[in-house]
Structure 1
Amino acid sequence: MLLRYALDVAPLWNTSEEFTEALNLLSPETQARVTKYHFTADRKLALGSQLLQRLVISEIHSGGKPSASIPNLSSIPIVKNEKSGRPSYSPPPATEGQIWELKDYNVSHHNSRSPSLPCLVVLVARVAPPSTGRQRVGVDVVPDAYNRSESAQTFLESFRSSGVFTDHEIGIIFSPLRNEEKVKMLYLHWALKEAYVKAVGTGLVTNLLAIEFRGVNLHDTEDRAYDGVEVYVDGEKRPEWKLEVGRLSRGHYFAVAVDDRDDGDGGEGDIGGWRWIEFRKDIWDVWSEPMVN
C-alpha cells in the first residue's frame, strides 16, 4: 500500500517562539540538523521534513499516538544512509498479529520562493505485510513554472546537451509551441528522473541518459495523478516500476516511482490522493504532551 503525505510549511512557525516550540518535539541531535540551515525557509522545510517522517512512522508502528514503543517523536531513530544520502528507519521486529510494516519511504521538498504559493514537504511511504521484502519508493516535487532572472528560453536551451535528458525526452519536452508548456514538460520529466534514481538509491550521480521515460504528456498530468508513463533503462522496458506523475497543488507537480516486484497488497493503493497534514491537529495536539501511563 502506498501512502502519500504533504505538509505546507509556508503558514507555519513564522515567529521564533512558534519555531522553537515545534523544534522541541525533536531530539537535540535532530534539532541541530534542522538549525544548521541559515535561511528561514530552509529551516522550516527541514523541520517539516523531520516532523513528517516521524509522524508517518508513528502512524504505522504506534497507531499515530504515544505508546510504550514510541513515547514521543524524539524517540524515533532516523539515520542517513551513507551511500544514497536518504533518511531511513529500521522498524522493530514484527510482533504476532502485526498486519503492516514500513518497507521504505522517501521525502522531497520545494521552496517556491513566492509568498502566494505553498512551501512543500512531501513524503511517500510503502507499507506491506512484514513477510514481504523491501519495496523501494522515490518521490520528487517540482515547480510548474520558471520564475528566475534568466529567460525561460535560456533555461530550456541549457538542457539540450546537459546529459540529463535523452534525445526522445528532449523531443517531447520541446514539442509544445509555448515556452510555458515546454517548461512544464521539462519539470515533469525532471521529477520522474529524480523520483526513479532516489528509489533505486543511486541519486543523480548515475548515468541519467540510460534512463528514459515515455508517455509523459500535459493533458493527462495537469489536473490529476497519471500512471501511464513507462521507464526504459538502457533501452529495455522495466515494467516492474510503477510510475505516477501529476499536479500536487497550485504551483507544483509531483512524481512517484515504486518498485512493485514484491507487492504484498495485491496492487491496493497504487494510485490515489494525498493526505494534507495540519501541524496543529495532526502533530502538536497529539505529541506535545508527555505520555501518561
Structure 2
Amino acid sequence: MIRLALKTSTWNPTETEWLRAANTISEAERDRISQFMYKRDAKQSMAGRLLMRNCFSQLSGAFPESFVLSRDTSGKPYLVNPPATLTALSFNVSHAGDYATFAGSNSAKVGVDVMKVELRRNTTVEQFFGHMKRQFTDFEWQRIRSPGSDRGKLFNFYRYWCLKESYVKAIGTGLKFGLLKIEFDIGRMEDDICRTTTVAIDGVIDSDWRFEEVYLDNHFITIAVQGEDSTREHVEDNVKVVKFDDLIVSKDMLDDEKYFFSFNEKKECP
C-alpha cells in the first residue's frame, strides 16, 4: 500500500514549479483548481492531484500526466481506462490544515482522512462539540470527553472524526452514511501510531477492517483498510512525507503561463 503526505503550508511554488505542476494534470483538473478563491485551497487541490498521479506512475511506470481521471456521481475521482496494473487500484485523497494526504492499494479497499487538531475561532470546546452532537455515539462521546483538559478532548475528537471519515470514504458513501451506525473503540497510541482500533457496525464488530492512525505535526492522518491488504501488505510502513520535487517527473513545460498567474492572483486565507 502507498501512503503519502505533502505539507502544503510550506510549499510556496515559484512560477516554474506551478507550471510544472499544471503540466502534470489534465486541462479539466487545471480548470477546476482555477475556480478556488484562496491560494491555500488551490495548493491543496493541486497537491492531491499530484499525489494521486505519483502513485499511478509508481505502480505502472507511466508518466504521471498520461492518466485520464473522471468523477463518479458522488464526486469521487476514478481512472478512465486504467492500465492492467491499476485495474484493481483503490485510492483516496484528503487535505486539511497543513497537509494533503493520499492512500492507494491494489489489494484492498482504502479511505484516508486528515484533520488538524485545532479549535475554531471565537468558540469554546463545549460549543464546538454541541454542533457535532449527532455525529458520535454515547460511548464515543464518553471517550472523547474522558481527558481532563480541553486539549485532550480535542485530540480525541479529531481522532474519532478521522476514523469515521476514513471509513465512509473507503465505502464510497460519504457522510450520508448514518454515522451513528458506526462505533469505534480506539486503541492506545504508541509513538504517535495506532493500529489496534476496532469498528462495530450496528453493534457488531467488523473484523474485516483495520485502521492506521498517525499523529503527525498536530494532525491526525487515518487510513481505513478493508480486505486481504491487512495480511499481504507491509503494515509496518508509515505515511511517507514527500516534497514537491518527489512528485514531478513531467517531460515538458506548459507554454501558457496563465496557470501561474491565476494562482498568483488568488487571495490568502483570512
Residue 116 of structure 1 aligns with which residue? none
What's the CA shift for 1:147? 4.7
Residue 127 of structure 1 aligns with which residue? 106
CA distance in structure 2 between the partners assigned to 1:196 and 1:253 by the alignment: 14
Residue 79 (structure 1) aligned with residue 70 (structure 2):
yes
CA separation of 1:178 and 1:266: change in aligned 2, threshold 3 A: closer
Runs of 4+ in structure 1 off by over 6 angstroms are none
What percent of counterpart residues are identical?
29
CA distance in structure 2 between the partners assigned to 1:271 and 1:140 by the alignment: 19
Residue 203 (structure 1) aligned with residue 178 (structure 2):
no
Residue 142 of structure 2 aligns with which residue? 171
Contact 1:91 1:102 in 2 (8 A): no
Residue 225 of structure 1 aligns with which residue? 193
CA separation of 1:265 and 1:178: change in aligned 2, threshold 3 A: closer
CA distance in structure 2 between the partners assigned to 1:266 and 1:184 by the alignment: 30
CA distance in structure 2 between the partners assigned to 1:266 and 1:178 by the alignment: 38
Deviates more, 1:194-203 or 1:85-94: 85-94
Matched letter for residue 59 of structure 2 = I
Matched letter for residue 125 of structure 1 = G
Which gives a bigger RCO, structure 1 or 2 (Cα 8 Å, sep 6+)? 2
What's the CA shift for 1:102? 5.0
Residue 142 (structure 1) aligned with residue 115 (structure 2):
yes
Q: Deviations over 1:265-292 (max 9, x none)?
A: 8433234212222212x233x22448xx
Contact 2:182 2:199 in 1 (8 A): yes
CA separation of 1:25 and 1:195: change in aligned 2, threshold 3 A: same
Residue 65 of structure 1 aligns with which residue? none
Contact 2:118 2:154 in 1 (8 A): yes
Residue 237 (structure 1) aligned with residue 201 (structure 2):
no
Q: Deviations over 1:94-148 (max 9, x none)?
A: 3xxx7x86520110101x3xxxxxx2111011124xxxxxx21101011123252
What's the CA shift for 1:81? 1.8
Residue 251 (structure 1) aligned with residue 218 (structure 2):
yes
What 5-or-longer segments of structure 2 have no aligned partner? Answer: 254-270
1:88 to 47, 61, 78: 78
Matched letter for residue 247 of structure 2 = I
What 5-or-longer segments of structure 1 have no aligned partner? Answer: 63-69, 113-118, 129-134
Taking the TM superposition and a 5 Å limit, the aligned residue runs for 1:181-196 are 181-196=152-167
Matched letter for residue 103 of structure 1 = L
**SS of the residue 1:108 aligns to:** strand
Query: With structure 1 as the length reference, what TM-score do the two structures score?
Result: 0.79
CA RMSD of aligned residues (A): 2.2
Residue 287 of structure 1 aligns with which residue? 250
Residue 128 of structure 2 aligns with which residue? 155
CA distance in structure 2 between the partners assigned to 1:210 and 1:156 by the alignment: 19
CA distance in structure 2 between the partners assigned to 1:265 and 1:230 by the alignment: 13
What's the CA shift for 1:157? 3.2
Contact 1:13 1:19 in 2 (8 A): no
Residue 267 of structure 2 aligns with which residue? none
**SS of the residue 2:4 aligns to:** strand
**SS of the residue 2:237 aligns to:** coil
What's the CA shift for 1:22? 2.3
Deviates more, 1:2-11 or 1:72-81: 72-81
Matched letter for residue 75 of structure 2 = G
Residue 46 (structure 1) aligned with residue 36 (structure 2):
no
What's the CA shift for 1:90? 5.1
Q: Deviations over 1:217-241 (max 9, x none)?
A: xxx3263321111100011110001
